[in-house]
């Protein structure tokens, strides 16, 4: 098992398919072992999302409520005011989130005033002591550098699916466009957040190929969101059957095994899962969730339910950087961290060399 925390970037699709075919309990056992060695197994990061520019997007992503190509009924809105965004981030922090992600329905990040506004949002959210993330579409090097300067910690840009399946989901930009943006993000010193969606009619091979593509990044993406399709009426993918929750467990377990030190985020689609399936995902290696009543345009799991879910499992919210001196033994009444356990978990392997 020592090899499980070796960081590999050369996974083959056939190898990952073999992992996928592993009996479920054996797969989860292996993922849990990696998780315990490479992560703090009792912590879950709470990330709150906010759509700062909703709808009217020129891209044709088949799953998305915000595409102008689909009749989802969503009304396009203007870019929010930075004060409004910073206020929402403050509330998210007070509710216990340590990361705040601002999403825009853009093909690419804008130039000029709109971009300056986004930079103001990033500075303001960063000043609150939150980990900052944006997802604004494609970025060039100059934009990435300015976001970094403003205090952006992470940029979300999903591969969404395999290269082969991609063209049946999105035609207005290519897989290589996606990869180019991710490389610009890395060059600017921003953490890469990239993952995908299952339940879009892809094969098991496609799912495995997407994970291989993500794991080929060196270093691995710092965070890997695993979404299940949220069906939105009016979008081309709205009538697809829901995924078997155990497929989500498998994806998470495989992501954990392949990218031991990455944060694996149990993302969209979580509210459709029974509580036990969510717990199994957390056991199998997910250590981040979207927290708050909304994702971007669709409802998320209820925040009170999430707090009780984590408490029932003895999990705690990862303390944010702004909370470092408060957690876990000096609880601030305004912040929720879940039950207080002394730090009896192993130090994450991220601080030591991988065991061979
Ligand atoms: N416009 C930017 C972009 O596409 O990169 C940022 C926002 S976009 C909504 C962020 C990601 O959310 C998408 O790449 C996709 O993976 C995910 N997403 C969007 N709609 C979804 C849905 N209906 N179900 C699951 N995931 C979804
Ligand atoms: C990601 O992988 N999932 C989030 C976040 N990154 C930006 C978005 C999920 C969106 C779900 C559909 C909606 O609410 O519009
Ligand atoms: Fe636009 Fe992003 Fe939605 Fe695609 S996923 S339509 S790029 S908002």
Range of the domain at 27: 13-322
Distance of CA 160 to the CA centre of its chain: 12
Buried b (16+ CB within 10 A) or exposed e, 104-122: bbbebbbeeeebebbbbbb
Contact 47, 291 (CB under 8 A): yes
Active site residue 47: no
- Structure confidence by residue, pLDDT tens digits, 307-349: 999 999 999 999 875 444 333 333 332 333 333 333 333 333 3
Task: Pick the catalytic residue from 30, 37, 47, 64.
Answer: 64
pLDDT of residue 328: 34
| Mean model confidence pLDDT for the chain | 90
95: in domain: yes
The total number of structural domains in the chain stands at 1
Q: Of all protein residues, whose CA lies closest to atom 2 belonging to ligand 1?
A: 137
**Ligand closest in space to the Cα of 197:** 1
CA of 108 to the centre of ligand 1 (A): 13
Residue 156 Cβ contacting ligand 2 at under 6 Å = yes
| Contact residues for 118 (Cβ-Cβ < 8 A; gap 6+) | 52, 79, 102, 104, 109, 110, 134, 136, 147
Tell me, yes or no, whether 4 lies in a domain: no
Which ligand 3 atom minimizes the distance to the CA of 105? 8
Rounded-to-integer distance, Cα 270 and Cα 245, Å: 9
Residue-wise pLDDT for 194-209, tens only, equals 999 999 999 999 999 9
Residue 336 counted as domain residue: no
> Is residue 293 one of the residues assigned to a domain?
yes
Is residue 139 in some structural domain? yes
pLDDT score, position 324: 41
Q: Is 208 designated active site?
A: no
Ligand nearest to the CA of 295: 2
Task: Name the active-site residue from 117, 265, 270, 307.
Answer: 265
- Rounded CA separation 171/155 (Å): 22
288-290 and 196-198 strand pairing: unpaired
Q: Which helix (H) or strand (E) holds 166?
A: helix 163-166
Q: Is 67 in the pocket of ligand 3 (CB under 6 A)?
A: yes
- 314, 71 Cβ separation under 8 angstroms: no
Is position 8 within any domain? Answer: no
Please indicate, yes or no, if residue 329 is contained in any of the structural domains. Answer: no
CATH of residue 120's domain is 3.20.20.70
Crossing angle of the two packed helices 141-150 and 113-127, in degrees rounded to 10: 30
**Residue 339 counted as domain residue:** no
CA 237, CA 18: separation in Å to the nearest integer?
28
Output the pLDDT for position 4.
54
């Amino acid at each position: 098992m020592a090899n499980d925390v070796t960081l590999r970037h050369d996974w083959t699709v056939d190898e990952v398919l073999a992992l996928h075919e592993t009996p479920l309990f054996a797969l989860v056992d292996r993922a849990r072992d990696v998780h315990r060695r490479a992560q703090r197994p009792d912590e879950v990061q709470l990330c709150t999302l906010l759509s700062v520019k909703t709808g009217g997007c020129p891209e044709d992503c088949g799953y998305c409520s915000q595409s102008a190509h689909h009749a989802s009924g969503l009304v396009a809105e203007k870019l929010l005011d930075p004060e409004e965004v910073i206020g929402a981030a403050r509330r998210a922090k007070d509710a216990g989130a340590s990361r705040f992600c601002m999403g825009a329905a853009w093909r690419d990040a804008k130039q000029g005033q709109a971009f300056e506004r986004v930079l103001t949002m990033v500075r303001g959210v960063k000043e609150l002591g939150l980990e900052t993330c944006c997802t604004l579409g494609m970025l060039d090097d100059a934009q990435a550098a300015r976001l970094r300067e403003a205090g952006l910690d992470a940029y979300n840009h999903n591969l969404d699916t395999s290269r082969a399946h991609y063209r049946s989901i999105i035609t207005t930009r290519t897989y290589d466009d996606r990869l180019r943006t991710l490389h610009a993000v890395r060059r600017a010193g921003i953490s890469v957040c990239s993952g995908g969606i299952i339940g879009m009619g892809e094969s098991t091979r496609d799912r495995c190929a997407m994970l291989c593509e993500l794991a080929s990044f060196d270093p691995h993406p710092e965070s890997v969101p695993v979404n299940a399709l949220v069906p939105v009426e009016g979008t081309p993918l709205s009538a697809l059957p829901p995924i078997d929750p155990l497929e989500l467990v498998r994806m998470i377990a495989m992501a954990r095994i392949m990218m031991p030190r990455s944060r694996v985020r149990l993302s969209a689609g979580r509210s459709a899962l029974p509580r036990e399936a969510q717990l199994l995902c957390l056991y199998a290696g997910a250590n981040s969730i979207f927290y708050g009543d909304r994702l971007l345009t669709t409802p998320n799991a209820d925040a009170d339910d999430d707090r009780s879910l984590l408490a029932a499992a003895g999990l705690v919210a990862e303390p944010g950087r702004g909370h470092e001196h408060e957690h876990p033994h000096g609880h601030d009444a305004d912040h929720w961290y879940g039950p207080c356990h002394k730090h009896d978990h192993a130090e994450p392997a991220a601080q030591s060399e991988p065991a061979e």
